[in-house]
Amino acid sequence: MTLRDEVTLLLQELIRANTVNPPGNETIAAELLRDYLEGNGLHCELVGRSPDRLNVVARLRGGDGPSLALLGHTDTVRADPEEWTRDPWSGDLVDGEIWGRGALDMKSQVAASAVAVASLAREGYRPSGDVVLLLTADEEVNENYGLSWLVEEHPDLVRADYALNEGGGDRCVFGGKAFYLCAVGEKMSAPFRVHVRGRSGHASMPSIADNALVKAARIVEALDRFEPPRELIPEVQRFLGDVLGEVPPVETALDRARALSPLAAELVEPLLSLTLAPTMIEASRQRNVIPATCVVTVDCRLPPGMTPADADALVRAAIGPGDYELEWYEKDGGTRSPMDTPLWAGLQDWVDAHEPGARLAPLVCAGFTDSHWMRDAFGTVSYGFFPQTAMDSELAARLIHSADERIPASDLELGVHVLRAAAMAVGS
């Protein structure tokens, strides 16, 4: 059986294991992966907070050199079968593409990671340091069943010097040159609530009340108008230097990226500053009662290095004076890894061999990935890199969390070879 056939069959089985989160039920995927890996001579441990939400930890033993973790999550988001051309849990292979929920996010990389390590084990390969498979639950919702729980409860089981995860690998052409994006960091998810105060009253007599919902509308508009100060973080400086040949001033950076490519601008724009998006509002629960309070929930993302304390004054200045309270209620992410490392060099070596003349270019994810937990707990150098070349990157982006999600089998096989190369490069 070829590696393409092997990884295709494994992905089909994983897609057919319905692990929509919630509720997750990731143990069905964990047991499937354990049977496959142990069938290839690798010892697996299934550990977790709940017996129906287990994580897979497997290890290819190596020497005393740096260790590499291959990360992946086995849960998926929901899928509405009525929106799909095919059954979302069919795993059908059609015209060289595997269809189903999780085909891109991210059972494909889970399957490729498992096959990469299993194939190395079959060949008797002994890496310089351990290669650890961390195939975990609960990334999509993060109720502390997956990697966040593992780093707290089993640090010695999952600790690694380097890690590869989702979030990058897209092949892009800028100015006639090919680049493969490598995610080296992520913005912090730092949502906040604006608690607006007023005075209740009967809705038939609006003038005798102080409508908190109306006051909140002005705040939402102010947040929509807000243009936060911009800054070129190191990763954006390097990206622009790579694709433009120079680093422009922050005032012209977005225009220069847009002139080069709409995609370059899409990558750069959310990384120039914090972003704010009001997404939820709660006020009166009765039609004829004017609300005395209104709560506006805002999705806020901060560049690596910025904290909610740094952003607080900016947000208050944007809203202006008023009868409200600002509540920052959680924070996740906001970590970064250095770009000049043996893992970066190993990935560039793969790019050189796969497509001579192409370059690796850094990316900071606007969203959140499990790489944060490894960086935060152990200082792990963690990158997002799983290249796809057969499917257009913009099409792939539209299919993630959407209907008709699928991946070409050739991209799946490519992922196996990339992960094998990374495992052999680290610590060599």
Cα separations in angstroms, 156 against 132, 143, 153, 167, 209: 12, 22, 9, 25, 59
pLDDT digits (tens, 9 = 90+) for 314-359: 999 999 999 999 999 999 999 999 999 999 999 999 999 999 999 9
Q: Which long-range contacts (CB under 8 A, 24 or more apart) does 235-239 make?
A: 235/184, 235/185, 235/271, 235/304, 235/336, 235/339, 235/362, 235/363, 235/364, 236/268, 236/271, 236/272, 236/364, 238/339, 238/361, 238/362, 239/267, 239/268, 239/361, 239/362, 239/363
Q: Which two tokens stand for residue 46?
A: 């299934």
Residue partners of 281: CB distance under 8 A and separation at least 6: 213, 216, 220, 294, 295, 296, 297
Residue 428 has what pLDDT?
Answer: 59
Neighbours of 83 (CB within 10 A): 10
Distance CA 319, CA 217 (A): 11
Residue partners of 119: CB distance under 8 A and separation at least 6: 3, 6, 40, 416, 420
Helix H, strand E, coil C: the string for 149-166 is HHHHHCHHHHCCCEEEEC
Give the residue from 386, 387, 272, 382 showing the smallest Cα distance to 338: 382
pTM: 0.93
Q: Which long-range contacts (CB under 8 A, 24 or more apart) does 225-229 make?
A: 225/318, 226/276, 226/315, 226/318, 228/273, 228/274, 228/275, 228/276, 228/314, 228/318, 229/273, 229/314
Neighbours of 306 (CB within 10 A): 20
- Number of H helices and E strands in the chain, helices first, is 14, 20
Q: Which two tokens stand for residue 13?
A: 């089985």
Bridge partners of residue 384, in order along the sequence: 165, 183
- SS3 at position 321: coil
Cα separations in angstroms, 402 against 75, 80, 303, 386, 406: 15, 9, 27, 19, 10
Please give the DSSP secondary-structure letter assigned to residue 233.
Answer: -
Distance of alpha carbon 168 from the chain centroid: 9
Residue partners of 257: CB distance under 8 A and separation at least 6: 240, 243, 244, 264, 265, 267, 268, 269
Instruction: Judge whether 190 and 299 are in contact, CB under 8 Å.
Output: no
Q: Which two tokens stand for residue 308?
A: 């909610």
Low-confidence residues of the chain: pLDDT under 50: none
- SS3 at position 49: coil
Distance CA 397, CA 391 (A): 10
Residue 427 has what pLDDT?
Answer: 60
Distance CA 230, CA 77 (A): 33
Which structural domains are found in the chain, ordered by start?
3-174+334-425 (3.40.630.10), 188-229+273-332 (3.30.70.360)
Instruction: Judge whether 99 and 108 are in contact, CB under 8 Å.
Output: no
Instruction: Judge whether 69 and 134 are in contact, CB under 8 Å.
Output: yes
pLDDT digits (tens, 9 = 90+) for 135-152: 999 999 999 999 999 999
Neighbours of 166 (CB within 10 A): 24
